[in-house]
Amino acid sequence: MFDGYDSCSEDTSSSSSSDESEEEVAPLPSSLPIIKNNGQVYTYPDGKSGMATCEMCGMVGVRDAFYSKTKRFCSVSCSRSYSSNSKKASILARLQGKPPTKKAKVLQKQPLVAKLAAYAQYQATLQNQAKTKAAVPVEGFSWGNYINSNSFTAAPVTCFKHAPMGTCWGDISEGVRVEVPNTDCSLPTKVFWIAGIVKLAGYNALLRYEGFENDSSLDFWCNVCGSDIHPVGWCATSGKPLVPPRTIQHKYTNWKAFLVKRLTGAKTLPPDFSQKVSESMQYPFKTSMRVEVVDKTHLCRTRVAVVESVIGGRLRLVYEESEDKTDDFWCHMYSPLIHHIGWSRSIGHRFKRSDITKKQDAHFDAPAHLFMKVKEVDTAGEWFKEGMKLEAIDPLNLSAICVATIRKVLADGYLMIGIDGSEAADGSDWFCYHATSPSIFPVGFCEINMIELTPPRGYAKLPFKWFDYLRETDSIAAPVKLFNKEVPNHGFHVGMKLEAVDLMEPRLVCVATVTRIIHRLLRIHFDGWEDEYDQWVDCESPDLYPVGWCQLTGYQLQPPAPQSSRDNQSSSSKQKKKSKSQQYKGHKKMSSLQLKEELLDGEEYSFLQGASDQESNGSASYYIKQEP
CATH class of the domain at 496-558: mainly beta
- Could you tell me what percent of the chain has a pLDDT over 70? 67
Higher pLDDT, 415 or 114: 415
Q: List C-alpha distances in Å: 216 to 72, 220, 223, 250.
A: 38, 9, 18, 18
Which of 89-103, 196-210, 271-285, 484-498 comes out lowest in average pLDDT?
A: 89-103
Q: List C-alpha distances in Å: 335 to 69, 83, 221, 586.
A: 61, 56, 32, 20
C-alpha span between 580 and 530 (Å, rounded)? 14
List, for residues 32-65, the tens digit of each pLDDT value.
554 333 333 344 444 444 566 777 766 656 565 5
What's the half-sphere exposure (Cβ side, CA atoms, 13 Å) at 127? 6
List, for residues 527-564, the tens digit of each pLDDT value.
999 999 999 999 999 999 999 999 999 999 999 987 65
Contacts of 496 (CB under 8 A, 6+ apart): 153, 154, 155, 513, 514
With bands split at pLDDT 50, 70 and 90, how would you rate the model's confidence at 426?
confident
Q: What is the pairing mode between strands 453-454 and 397-409? A: parallel
Higher pLDDT, 110 or 380: 380
List strand residue ranges (DSSP E) for 410-470, in order: 414-419, 431-434, 440-441, 453-454
What integer pLDDT is reported at residue 54 of this predicted model? 72
**Residue 562 CB: number of other CB atoms within 10 A?**
11
With bands split at pLDDT 50, 70 and 90, how would you rate the model's confidence at 69?
low
What integer pLDDT is reported at residue 578 of this predicted model? 38
What integer pLDDT is reported at residue 552 of this predicted model? 96
Contact 509, 535 (CB under 8 A): no
Contact 53, 108 (CB under 8 A): no
C-alpha span between 307 and 315 (Å, rounded)? 6
- Domain 172-269: CATH architecture, name and number where available: Roll (2.30)
C-alpha span between 513 and 525 (Å, rounded)? 5
Just give the CATH number of 388-482. 2.30.30.140
Average pLDDT over residues 334-347: 96
Determine if the peptide bond prior to 33 is cis (ω within 30°).
Answer: no
| Residues β-bridged to residue 393 | 401
Which of 124-138, 399-413, 422-436 comes out lowest in average pLDDT?
A: 124-138
Residue 391 has pLDDT above 90, yes or no: yes
What integer pLDDT is reported at residue 353 of this predicted model? 86
Q: Which of 4, 36, 2 is nearest to 237 (CA)?
A: 36
C-alpha span between 90 and 615 (Å, rounded)? 62
Higher pLDDT, 606 or 226: 226
Higher pLDDT, 603 or 322: 322
Q: Select the highest-mean-pLDDT range: 30-44, 248-262, 575-589.
A: 248-262
Kind and range of the H or E run holding 537 = strand 535-538
Answer positive or negative: Cα dihedral of 66, 67, 71, 73: negative
With bands split at pLDDT 50, 70 and 90, how would you rate the model's confidence at 76?
low
Q: Which of 544, 546, 508, 542 is nearest to 528 (CA)?
A: 508
Higher pLDDT, 405 or 116: 405
C-alpha span between 257 and 362 (Å, rounded)? 62
Residue 103 has pLDDT above 60, yes or no: no
What integer pLDDT is reported at residue 237 of this predicted model? 87
What integer pLDDT is reported at residue 80 of this predicted model? 64
What integer pLDDT is reported at residue 170 of this predicted model? 87
Question: Is 549 strand, coil or helix?
Answer: helix
Higher pLDDT, 386 or 98: 386
Residue 575 has pLDDT above 70, yes or no: no
Which of 181-185, 482-486, 619-623 comes out lowest in average pLDDT?
A: 619-623
CATH number for domain 283-370, candidates 3.40.1050.10, 2.30.30.140, 2.60.40.10, 3.90.1310.10:
2.30.30.140
List, for residues 178-194, the tens digit of each pLDDT value.
999 999 998 889 999 99
What integer pLDDT is reported at residue 183 of this predicted model? 94
Answer positive or negative: Cα dihedral of 145, 521, 422, 339: positive
Average pLDDT over residues 424-434: 90
Contacts of 598 (CB under 8 A, 6+ apart): 590
C-alpha span between 280 and 312 (Å, rounded)? 10
What integer pLDDT is reported at residue 427 of this predicted model? 85
Higher pLDDT, 105 or 170: 170
Kind and range of the H or E run holding 311 = strand 298-311
**Residue 201 CB: number of other CB atoms within 10 A?**
24
Higher pLDDT, 626 or 440: 440
List, for residues 404-423, the tens digit of each pLDDT value.
999 999 999 999 999 999 88
Contact 511, 558 (CB under 8 A): yes
With bands split at pLDDT 50, 70 and 90, how would you rate the model's confidence at 197?
very high
Question: Is 308 strand, coil or helix?
Answer: strand
| Residues β-bridged to residue 179 | 194, 230
Q: Which of 626, 445, 574 is nearest to 454 (CA)?
A: 445
- Could you tell me what percent of the chain has a pLDDT over 90? 56
C-alpha span between 286 and 317 (Å, rounded)? 11
Measured at the alpha carbon of residue 403, what is the angle toward residues 397 and 406, in degrees to the nearest 5?
100
List strand residue ranges (DSSP E) for 502-579, in order: 509-518, 521-526, 535-538, 544-545, 557-558
C-alpha span between 75 and 86 (Å, rounded)? 17
Which of 65-74, 203-212, 554-563 comes out lowest in average pLDDT?
A: 65-74
Question: Is 60 strand, coil or helix?
Answer: strand
Residue ranges of the chain that CATH labels 2.30.30.140: 172-269, 283-370, 388-482, 496-558
What integer pLDDT is reported at residue 45 of this predicted model? 43
What integer pLDDT is reported at residue 247 of this predicted model? 94
Question: Is 610 strand, coil or helix?
Answer: coil
What integer pLDDT is reported at residue 219 of this predicted model? 96
Average pLDDT over residues 192-208: 97
What integer pLDDT is reported at residue 463 of this predicted model? 92
Residue 590 has pLDDT above 60, yes or no: no
Average pLDDT over residues 429-444: 96
C-alpha span between 58 and 34 (Å, rounded)? 9
Which of 216-230, 506-520, 565-579 comes out lowest in average pLDDT?
A: 565-579
| Average confidence score pLDDT of the chain | 78
Q: List C-alpha distances in Å: 513 to 490, 496, 573, 581.
A: 15, 6, 19, 18
What integer pLDDT is reported at residue 236 of this predicted model? 85
C-alpha span between 524 and 513 (Å, rounded)? 6
Average pLDDT over residues 381-397: 95
